[in-house]
């Protein structure tokens, strides 16, 4: 910003949009450019050792008056290249910033741990699906144990953080769908406060909901062009095939219902039996919502994929009649209006990606923020719950991003979720 005007420290005032020409970790503010909101912020800026700061007249309040200096006039004296702080001891604000940075590193460590657990779980699902025919009894035991582990973590944690996974997690996309549907179904079960005795059958049914696809030829499953009428009819039998396989495994009746009904829709337009409303079992209605959402986000052709925000918006605005309204409401409560993986513009103009949603505060997610001055591997991870005056303004399609912003945020081509139920979200102090 060569032509950006500057002001001296005595000209700072509330309403001025300023740029701090310091490294992000050398000042106590969440962002390096922002609109001044209080006299306390002015005092803090004056304590940074800068002689002047750049400002943006277009983003400043209209009533800002710079003591007769025209807003477009740049003052002569630039900010020093290496400013010397006025104080030697860290201010309370700087201590809060350092605590924020420590929490950001903790979140990076947590994300790495969760992604490792996610891949391990996906590999377990791969083994389960491969052994369905050869070792049905052992496979059911393995599936039940996995579901119990997930259920215990999800149902007993004080808060549940749902986190989007990276793309490069081992190439097990085939098994990610089963895991996504299971995760999302269990998440809704928690929100709906379902009895603990039904959570096990829900998890097993969700995990194995697509086992009938084993009876469908690959040339149909992998076909990217529209299916013929005959191919569509064959494909729509896979829930029935799945029930037959599940019976041989001696699954519980509730799990059988999920497998047979996971494509039935509340308005009666689903398949294979065109069941309607409460004729579809409750647990199946939960899986229907999770399954439909994941198929919108992760279709066979990635060019057809909707962003998480678009998928949720479509289900609520255009497809609402197809889902049990109570369950769809629970789903939206859990993921928030901006699910993990959504690219958003914040109310201060910054661009970021929602990385984690806490189900207790879904409208205040954790966002990875784009800032060209901060290296991507040290990106600002902003807990919106600690920013009282900051909100999400709107969702943005990844294709609308400038290339440098896209590469920095790395939006997920495939959207997968996992959970962190180990502890409540850490607080970073007052903004």
Give the 3-state secondary structure of residue 395. Answer: strand
In this structure, the answer to whether residues 115 and 208 fall within a common structural domain is yes
Q: Is residue 88 part of a domain?
A: no
Angle value at C-alpha 76, between 72 and 80, nearest 5 degrees: 115
Q: What is the pLDDT of residue 81?
A: 45
pLDDT tens digits, one per residue of 142-157: 999 999 988 888 888 8
% residues pLDDT > 70 (the chain): 89
Q: Are 190 and 327 within one domain?
A: yes
CB 336 within 8 A of CB 363: yes
The angle subtended at Cα 399 by Cα 110 and Cα 181, nearest 5°, is 50
Do 53 and 154 share a domain, yes or no? no
Predicted local confidence at residue 262, as pLDDT:
98
75-118 residue pLDDT tens = 434 444 444 444 456 677 777 778 777 878 887 888 888 888 88
Structural domain contains residue 67: yes
Looking at 47, 78, 109, which one is the last position of a domain? 78
**Residue of 424, 427, 421 lying closest to 187 (CA atoms):** 421
What DSSP character marks residue 27? S
Confidence of residue 429 (pLDDT cuts 50, 70, 90): very low
pLDDT of residue 233: 95
Model confidence band, residue 405 (pLDDT cutoffs 50, 70, 90): very high
Q: In what order do the strands lie in the sheet with 6-8?
A: 6-8, 52-55, 17-19, 33-35
Question: Is 390 found in the same domain as 251?
Answer: no
Q: What is the pLDDT of residues 341-369, one digit of tens each?
A: 999 999 999 999 999 998 888 888 999 99
Q: Is residue 431 part of a domain?
A: no
Read off the pLDDT of residues 374-398 as tens digits, 9 standing for 90 and up.
888 889 999 998 888 889 999 999 8
Q: Are 328 and 315 in contact (CB under 8 A)?
A: yes
- Structural domain ending residue among the three candidates 304, 335, 366: 335
Residue 202 and residue 269 share a domain: yes
- List pLDDT tens digits, range 272-329: 999 999 999 999 999 999 999 999 998 888 788 899 999 999 999 999 999 999 999 9
- Average pLDDT, stretch 188-211? 94
Cα separation, 178 vs 47, whole angstroms:
54
Same domain, 325 and 398: no
* pTM strictly above 0.85: no
Asked whether residue 61 is assigned to any structural domain, the reply reads: yes
Higher pLDDT, residue 321 or 425: 321
Same domain, 327 and 359: no
What residues contact residue 411 under an 8 Å CB cut-off, 6+ apart?
341, 343, 353, 398, 401
**Residues with Cβ within 8 Å of residue 201, at least 6 apart in sequence:** 251, 252, 254, 255, 258, 283
Query: What contacts 394, CB < 8 A, 6 or more positions away?
Result: 344, 345
Helix residue spans in 308-415 (DSSP H): 308-317, 325-335, 403-409
* Higher pLDDT pick, 406 / 427: 406
pLDDT confidence of 169, banded at 50, 70, 90?
low
**74 within a domain of the structure (yes/no):** yes
Pairing of strands 343-346, 392-396: antiparallel
| Inter-CA distances, 412 with 22, 108, 307, 374, 417, Å | 31, 17, 9, 21, 11
Report pLDDT for 387.
Answer: 85
More confident residue, 289 or 134: 289
Is 111 a member of any domain? yes
Q: Is the dihedral of CA 358, 396, 400, 371 positive or negative?
A: negative
Residue that is last in its domain, among 78, 111, 128? 78
Q: What is the pLDDT, as a whole number, of residue 246?
A: 93
Mean pLDDT value of segment 134-144: 88
What is the total count of domains within the chain? Answer: 3
| Average pLDDT value over all residues in the chain | 85
305 neighbors 413 (Cβ within 8 angstroms): yes
Beta-bridge partner residues of 54: 6, 19
Shared domain for 125 and 226, answered yes or no, is yes
Residues 217 and 267 in one domain: yes
**SS3 call for 75:** coil
| Residues 270 and 155 occupy one common structural domain | yes
Cα(297)–Cα(87) distance, rounded to whole angstroms? 51
pLDDT at position 359 is 82
Q: Is residue 196 part of a domain?
A: yes
Provide the percentage of residues in the chain whose pLDDT is more than 90.
Answer: 47
CATH of the domain at 243: 1.10.3210.10
Domain range enclosing 402? 343-420
Among 166-175, 253-262, 361-370, the least confident range:
166-175
Q: In this predicted structure, what is the pLDDT of residue 144? A: 92
First to last CA, the chain: 27
Does 166 score more than 50 pLDDT?
yes
Residues 208 and 156 in one domain: yes
Q: Are residues 285 and 351 in the same domain?
A: no
What's the average model confidence in pLDDT over 195-203?
94
* Residue with token string 């939206």: 332
Whether residue 121 is contained in a domain is answered as: yes
Angle between helix axes 325-335 and 282-297 (nearest 10 degrees) is 50
- CA R_g for the chain: 26
| 8-12, 233-237, 333-337, 359-363, range with the lowest pLDDT | 359-363
């Amino acid at each position: 910003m060569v032509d950006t005007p500057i002001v001296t420290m005595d000209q700072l005032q509330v309403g001025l949009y300023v740029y701090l020409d310091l490294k992000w970790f050398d000042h106590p503010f969440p962002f390096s450019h922002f609109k001044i909101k209080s006299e306390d912020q002015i005092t803090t800026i004056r304590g940074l050792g800068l002689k002047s700061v750049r400002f943006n007249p277009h983003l400043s309040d209209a009533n800002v008056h710079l003591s007769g200096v025209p807003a477009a006039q740049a003052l002569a004296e630039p900010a020093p290249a290496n400013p010397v702080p006025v104080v030697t001891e860290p201010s309370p604000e700087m201590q809060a910033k350092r605590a924020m940075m420590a929490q950001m590193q903790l979140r990076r460590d947590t994300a790495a741990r969760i992604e490792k657990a996610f891949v391990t779980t996906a590999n377990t699902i791969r083994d389960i699906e491969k052994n369905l025919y050869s070792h049905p009894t052992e496979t059911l035991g393995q599936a039940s144990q996995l579901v119990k582990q997930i259920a215990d973590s999800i149902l007993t944690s004080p808060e549940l953080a749902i986190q989007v996974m990276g793309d490069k997690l081992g190439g097990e996309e085939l098994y990610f769908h089963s895991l996504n549907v299971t995760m999302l179904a269990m998440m809704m079960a928690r929100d709906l406060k379902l009895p603990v005795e039904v959570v096990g059958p829900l998890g097993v049914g969700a995990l194995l909901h697509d086992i009938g696809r084993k009876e469908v030829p690959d040339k149909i499953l992998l076909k990217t062009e529209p299916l013929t009428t005959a191919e569509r009819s064959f494909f729509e039998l896979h829930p029935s095939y799945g029930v037959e396989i599940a019976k041989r495994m001696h699954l519980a009746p509730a799990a059988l219902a999920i497998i047979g009904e996971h494509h039935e829709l509340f308005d009666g337009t689903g398949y294979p039996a065109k069941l309607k409303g409460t004729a579809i079992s409750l647990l199946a209605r939960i899986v229907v919502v999770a399954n439909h959402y994941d198929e919108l986000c992760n279709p066979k052709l990635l060019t057809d994929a909707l962003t998480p925000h678009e998928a949720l918006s479509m289900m609520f605005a255009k497809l609402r009649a197809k889902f049990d309204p109570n369950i769809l409401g629970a789903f939206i409560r859990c993921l928030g209006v901006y699910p993990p993986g959504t690219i958003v513009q914040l109310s201060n103009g910054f661009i970021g990606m929602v990385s984690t949603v806490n189900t207790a505060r879904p409208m205040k997610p954790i966002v990875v923020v784009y800032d060209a001055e901060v290296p991507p591997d040290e990106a600002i991870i902003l807990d919106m719950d600690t920013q009282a005056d900051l909100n999400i303004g709107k969702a943005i399609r990844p294709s609308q991003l400038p290339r440098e912003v896209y590469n920095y945020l790395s939006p997920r081509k495939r959207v997968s979720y996992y959970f962190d139920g180990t502890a409540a979200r850490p607080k970073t102090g007052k903004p």
